[in-house]
């Protein structure tokens, strides 16, 4: 068996052993926040001035930080992930990107409330600020920051999650993300001090924001949170339209080739309560559409902004996909934290932020008023699927906060499943890249596959291990293990209970186990914690006859089963009657049955009322799974079974089960996993057409 424990703690090979999950003081054993739950309280006031030509900004921030933890803090940690573009960063070294464009934060100054400088210490993308007076539990400190930041191109080899896109030599779209000193999350396990290199994303606190930004005239600015200054920033005619955006029809606020009026007033002001982050985009010469989704707790505004080139697929699908996703998911999971969500297309940048989703897929360049251009199936479903995915992130990690750095598979796995759920409701023929059990075997049997719990900087294929496999696992949890109604209720309750708080994967596991009442530790271990795959073999199927049947009853039953063909017997049919048939006096009971039927008369018997099928299943993979079976009869009737995973508890490698057979017809096929629902990697051993006797 191929089992490799991925977590640091000593994990067992025993598939049904109870899982050892970390339980901290903020979580209860039932997967809900504990009565002593705490999280840090933060509020930022940030003022920034953007230089669009230089793709840079200069900013100051005031942070009020209240220590709600039971610990005294001498140091506060912040992350400035764009430092990976700075010379000498770990990312440059690891990915040999030494000669690439430099960017990141420069001239960071930190002072206390009396404006006295505080000591800072860099650790790659992290910076420690040493407080003059240790911050005791319940105390608040005010920090002042000033800094400059330079963006890199969106096509930088280190794969940025922010950056600028040039069109015709101009910086047309600039995504300012990870642009201010973001407080690293302090939790019951301390600080997560692993720097951001490339793949392990962000460990952040929820915070209140008040942000003011000065940008160049002619640029539209879209940001996280509630936009306070639309009336000043937008030209009157556009503002009027903006105010009238409804759920009924999409409104085009800025059209193609529509010159952006130069008299828009600065600054742009935004406010947000309990947002996981604050991000903004400045853009010019974009098409900008908007529509609302009505929700019982307040309408949600969706807008889509995309540049004039390559806009055909965005024009046709972006706003529709956004409206559809918000409508469907808020129905299921409750309202997202953001009241407005902007979709922005910057080529190559795909990343979720509160109220702002960057989606990099664009499709071919073509005029929106012209005929449909040539585009591939993948181009189409990348655009729509990319939007559905980033919108689904509005629930995790934006509404329920998670530690993306430590548990990249948690938010990506849930989000990838939600996206799959949306995709398959959008179209029955949607090209879904993640979430379908039929296709997961190839990924999980690959020699370099690592399980979802693997740290994102160490996983070989993040899309396989953090997106596809967890999404498939959740699909199986819903369709095969819990059923749709129970799964949907449990997931909705989880989002409701953890709304605005920090949840970990362990909380989710405990919550599902407790709410469902099912023993699912084997499932979490097999699909999330260990390297392995599903491979169940239908090894043997044998007919057992009732002990008290006499010879004639047996013979009558066996005659339903065809004997194995014989080429000699078939060809001898051309010769006409055999000698025995021409001389009926020679016939006896042995002449009237073939060797096989004679042998079958000696079939195994048992004290049962009707014939049974003894089925041997072998678990050749490492993950025990329920066994969906279909029993087909020669007359076309079918009986379906779903054997519980408990099957494997006695012997996780091989089991025998008994199925009752109809007494008056032959089985023609026993089919394991006919609907490809358990993610089995090998399907050549899933069918038996001739039982043994
Ligand atoms: Zn994602």
The pLDDT value recorded for residue 12 is 67
Q: What is the 3-state secondary structure (H, E, C) of 567-601?
A: HHHHHHHHHCCCHHHHCHHHCCHHHHCCHHHHHHC
Q: What is the pLDDT of residues 115-164, one digit of tens each?
A: 999 999 999 999 999 999 999 999 999 999 999 999 999 999 988 899 99
For position 335, which CATH number holds?
1.10.390.10
The alpha carbon of 604 and the centre of ligand 1 are apart by a number of angstroms equal to 56
**Percentage of residues of the chain with pLDDT beyond 90:** 86
Quick one: 124 and 271 in the same domain?
yes
The arithmetic mean of pLDDT across residues 499-526, rounded, is 97
- The helix/strand count (H/E) of the chain reads as 16, 33
Instruction: Tell me how far the alpha carbon of residue 632 lies from the centroid of ligand 1, in angstroms.
Output: 42
Q: What is the pLDDT of residues 641-651, one digit of tens each?
A: 999 999 999 99
User: Of all helices (H) and strands (E), which one includes residue 121?
Assistant: strand 119-123
For 594, how many CA atoms within 13 A lie in the half-sphere containing its CB? 10
**What separation in Å is there between the alpha carbon of 50 and the centre of ligand 1?**
28
How many Å lie between the centroid of ligand 1 and the Cα of residue 240? 35
DSSP 69: S
Q: How many domains does the chain have?
A: 4
Residue pair 211/46 in contact (Cβ under 8 Å)? The answer is yes
Query: Ligand 1 center to residue 338 CA distance, Å?
Result: 17
Residue 481 DSSP code: I
CB atoms within 10 A of CB 136: 10
- pLDDT, residue 263, reads 61
Last residue of a domain, one of 401, 423, 458: 401
Average pLDDT score over residue span 314-324: 96
Q: What is the CA radius of gyration of the chain?
A: 32
Q: Are residues 57 and 88 in the same domain?
A: yes
Q: What is the CATH classification number for the domain harbouring 45?
A: 2.60.40.1730
Q: Which residues are CB-neighbours of 606 under 8 A, at least 6 positions away?
A: 544, 545, 546, 547, 612
Domain assignment of residue 152, yes or no: yes
C-alpha–C-alpha distance, residues 398 and 503, integer Å: 11
- DSSP string covering 350-362: -EEETTEEE----
Q: How far is the CA of 563 from the centre of ligand 1 (A)?
A: 56
Could you tell me how many residues make up the chain? Answer: 693
Q: Kindly list the protein residues that place their beta carbon closer than 5 angstroms to ligand 1, a single-atom ion.
A: 412, 415
Q: Identify the CA nearest to 595 among candidates 637, 564, 629, 636.
A: 564
CA of 396 to the centre of ligand 1 (A): 9
- Please check whether residues 278 and 349 belong to one and the same domain: no
Of residues 307, 298, 207, 318, the one with CA closest to residue 257: 307
Residue 415, phi then psi, degrees to nearest 5: -65, -40
Helices (H), 167-311: 230-233, 236-243
What CA dihedral angle connects 222, 246, 388 and 453, to 10 degrees? Answer: 70
Q: Under the phi-then-psi rule, with left for phi > 0, alpha for psi from -120 to 50, and beta for the rest, what region is 565?
A: beta
* Percent of the chain surpassing pLDDT 70: 97
What is the predicted pLDDT for the residue at 99?
Answer: 83
C-alpha of residue 407 to centroid of ligand 1, in Å: 12
Q: What DSSP character marks residue 691?
A: -
- Of 682, 475, 126, the residue nearest 467 (C-alpha): 475
The parent domain of residue 411 ranges over 1-37+402-532
658 CA to centre of ligand 1 in angstroms? 45
CA of 107 to the centre of ligand 1 (A): 32
Burial grade of 380 (CB within 10 A; 0-12, 13-18, 19 or more): middle
The Cα 209–Cα 653 span in angstroms is 56
In a domain, 166, yes or no: yes
In a shared domain, residues 383 and 409: no
Cα–ligand 1 centroid distance for 687 (angstroms): 38
- For residue 138, the CA-to-ligand 1 centroid distance in Å is 35
Q: Over 90: is that where the pLDDT of 297 sits?
A: no
CA dihedral (491, 495, 497, 498) positive or negative: positive
Please say which residue of 358, 374, 401 terminates a domain. Answer: 401
Six-digit token pair at 557? 């039953």
24 shares a domain with 48? no
Kindly give the distance from the C-alpha atom of residue 393 to the centroid of ligand 1, in angstroms, as a whole number: 6
- Asked if the structure places residue 235 within a domain, the reply is no
Q: Is residue 555 part of a domain?
A: yes
How many angstroms separate the alpha carbon of residue 425 from the centre of ligand 1? 19
Please indicate, yes or no, if residue 239 is contained in any of the structural domains: no
Q: How far is the CA of 501 from the centre of ligand 1 (A)?
A: 19
Write the DSSP symbol of residue 562: P
Question: Is residue 631 predicted with pLDDT exceeding 90?
Answer: yes
61 contact partners, CB below 8 Å, separation of at least 6:
44, 45, 46, 47, 144, 145, 146, 180, 181
Q: What is the pLDDT of residues 531-587, one digit of tens each?
A: 999 999 999 999 999 999 999 999 999 999 988 889 999 999 999 999 999 999 999
Question: Are both 384 and 423 inside the same structural domain?
Answer: no
In 59-173, which ranges are continuous DSSP H helix? 90-94
Asked if residue 321 and residue 417 are part of one domain, the reply reads no
613 shares a domain with 521? no
511 lies in some domain = yes
Distance CA 313, CA 384 (A): 9
Q: How many CB atoms lie within 10 A of CB 357?
A: 29
pLDDT of residue 7: 43
The pLDDT assigned to 262 comes to 55
Q: 440 C-alpha to center of ligand 1: Å? A: 18
Expressed in angstroms and rounded, the spacing between residue 466 Cα and the centre of ligand 1 is 9
Q: Kindly give the distance from the C-alpha atom of residue 343 to the centroid of ligand 1, in angstroms, as a whole number.
A: 14
Q: How far apart are CA 339 and CA 302, in angstroms?
A: 9
| Same structural domain, 20 and 46 | no
Single out the residue in 477, 505, 532 at which a domain terminates.
532
DSSP, res 83: G
φ/ψ bin of 225: left (φ > 0), alpha (ψ from -120 to 50), beta (otherwise): left
Q: What is the pLDDT of residues 181-237, one digit of tens each?
A: 999 999 999 999 999 999 999 999 999 999 999 998 889 999 999 999 999 999 888
Q: Is residue 242 in some structural domain?
A: no
- The per-residue pLDDT for 11 is 56
222 C-alpha to center of ligand 1: Å?
20
Ligand 1 centroid from CA 352, angstroms: 7
CA–CA gap between residue 433 and residue 558 (Å, rounded): 48
Q: 659 pairs with which residues across the strands?
A: 613
How far apart, in Å, are the Cα atoms of 643 and each of 205, 477, 525, 630, 646? Answer: 44, 15, 20, 11, 8
Q: Answer yes or no: do 523 and 411 share one domain.
A: yes
| Interval 449-460: pLDDT, tens | 999 999 999 999
Q: How far is the CA of 415 from the centre of ligand 1 (A)?
A: 6
Distance CA 46, CA 59 (A): 7
Give the Å distance between the CA of 51 and the centre of ligand 1.
Answer: 29
Residues 197 and 208 in one domain: yes
* Residue 49 contacts residue 214 (beta carbons within 8 Å): yes
158-179 pLDDT tens trace = 888 999 999 989 999 999 999 9
Cα–ligand 1 centroid distance for 202 (angstroms): 12
Identify whether 200 is part of a domain.
Answer: yes
Report pLDDT digits (tens) over 60-99. Answer: 999 999 999 999 999 999 999 999 999 889 999 899 887 8
Q: Are residues 333 and 383 in the same domain?
A: yes
Query: What is the band of 347 on the pLDDT scale with cuts at 50, 70, 90?
Result: confident
- Which pLDDT score is estimated for 3? 39
Check: CB of residue 322 under 8 Å from CB of residue 306. no
Per DSSP, the residues of 611-659 read -EEEEEEEE-SSS---EEEEEEETTS-EEEEEE-GGGGSS-SSEEEEEE
């Amino acid at each position: 068996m191929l089992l490799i424990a991925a977590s640091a703690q000593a994990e067992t090979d025993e598939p049904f052993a109870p899982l050892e999950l970390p339980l901290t003081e903020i979580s209860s054993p039932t997967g809900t926040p504990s009565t002593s739950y705490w999280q840090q309280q933060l509020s930022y006031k940030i003022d920034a001035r953007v230089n669009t030509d230089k793709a840079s900004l200069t900013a100051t921030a005031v942070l009020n930080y209240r220590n709600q933890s039971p610990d005294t803090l001498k140091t506060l940690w912040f992350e400035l992930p764009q430092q990976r573009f700075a010379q000498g960063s770990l990312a440059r070294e690891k990915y040999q990107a030494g000669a690439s464009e430099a960017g990141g934060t420069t001239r960071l100054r930190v002072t206390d409330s009396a404006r006295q400088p505080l000591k800072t210490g860099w650790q790659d993308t992290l910076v420690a600020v040493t407080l003059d007076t240790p911050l005791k539990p319940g105390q608040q400190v005010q920090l002042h920051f000033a800094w400059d930041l330079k963006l890199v191109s969106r096509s930088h080899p280190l794969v940025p999650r922010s950056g600028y896109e040039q069109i015709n030599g101009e910086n047309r779209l600039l995504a300012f993300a990870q642009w201010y000193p973001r407080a690293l999350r302090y939790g019951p396990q301390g600080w997560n001090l692993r720097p951001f290199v490339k793949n392990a994303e962000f460990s952040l606190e929820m915070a209140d924001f008040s942000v003011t930004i000065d940008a160049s005239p002619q640029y539209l600015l879209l940001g996280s949170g509630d936009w306070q200054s639309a009336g000043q920033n937008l030209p009157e005619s556009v503002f009027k339209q903006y105010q009238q955006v409804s759920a009924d029809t999409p409104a085009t606020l800025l059209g193609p080739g529509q010159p952006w009026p130069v008299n828009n007033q600065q600054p742009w002001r935004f406010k947000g309560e309990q947002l996981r982050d604050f991000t903004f985009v400045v853009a010019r010469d974009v098409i900008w559409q908007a529509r609302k989704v009505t929700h019982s707790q307040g309408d949600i505004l969706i807008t889509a902004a995309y540049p004039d080139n390559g806009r055909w697929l965005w024009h046709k699908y972006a706003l529709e996909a956004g409206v559809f996703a918000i409508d469907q998911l808020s129905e299921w999971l409750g309202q997202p934290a953001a009241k407005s969500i902007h979709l922005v297309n910057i080529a190559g940048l795909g990343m979720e932020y509160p109220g702002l989703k960057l989606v990099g897929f664009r499709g071919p360049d073509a005029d929106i008023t012209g005929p449909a251009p040539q585009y591939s199936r993948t181009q189409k479903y990348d655009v729509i699927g990319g939007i559905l995915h980033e919108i689904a992130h509005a629930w995790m990690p934006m509404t329920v906060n998670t530690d993306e750095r430590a548990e990249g598979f948690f938010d990506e796995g849930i989000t990838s499943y939600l996206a799959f759920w949306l995709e398959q409701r959008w179209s029955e023929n949607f090209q879904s890249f993640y979430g379908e059990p039929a296709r997961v075997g190839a990924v999980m049997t690959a020699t370099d596959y690592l399980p979802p719990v693997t740290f994102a900087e160490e996983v070989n294929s993040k899309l396989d291990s953090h997106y596809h496999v967890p999404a498939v696992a959740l699909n199986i949890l819903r369709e095969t293990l819990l059923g749709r109604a129970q799964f949907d209720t449990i997931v909705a309750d989880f989002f409701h209970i953890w709304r605005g708080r920090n949840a970990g994967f362990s909380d989710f596991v405990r919550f599902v186990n407790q709410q469902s009442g099912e023993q699912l530790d084997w499932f979490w271990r097999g699909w999330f914690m260990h390297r392995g795959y599903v491979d169940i073999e239908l090894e043997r199927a044998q007919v057992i006859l009732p002990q008290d049947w006499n010879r004639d009853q047996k013979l009558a039953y066996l005659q339903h089963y065809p004997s194995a063909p014989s080429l000699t017997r078939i060809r001898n049919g051309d010769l006409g009657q055999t000698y025995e048939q021409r001389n009926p006096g020679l016939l006896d009971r042995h002449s009237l049955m073939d060797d096989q039927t004679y042998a079958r008369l000696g079939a195994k018997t048992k004290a049962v009322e009707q014939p049974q099928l003894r089925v041997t299943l072998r678990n050749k993979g490492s993950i025990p799974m329920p066994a969906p079976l279909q029993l087909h009869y020669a007359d076309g009737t079918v009986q379906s079974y779903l054997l519980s995973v408990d099957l494997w508890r006695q012997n996780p490698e091989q089991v025998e089960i008994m199925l009752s057979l109809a007494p008056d017809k032959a089985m023609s096929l026993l089919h394991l996993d006919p609907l490809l629902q358990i993610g089995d990697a090998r399907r050549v051993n899933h069918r038996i057409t001739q039982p043994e006797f």
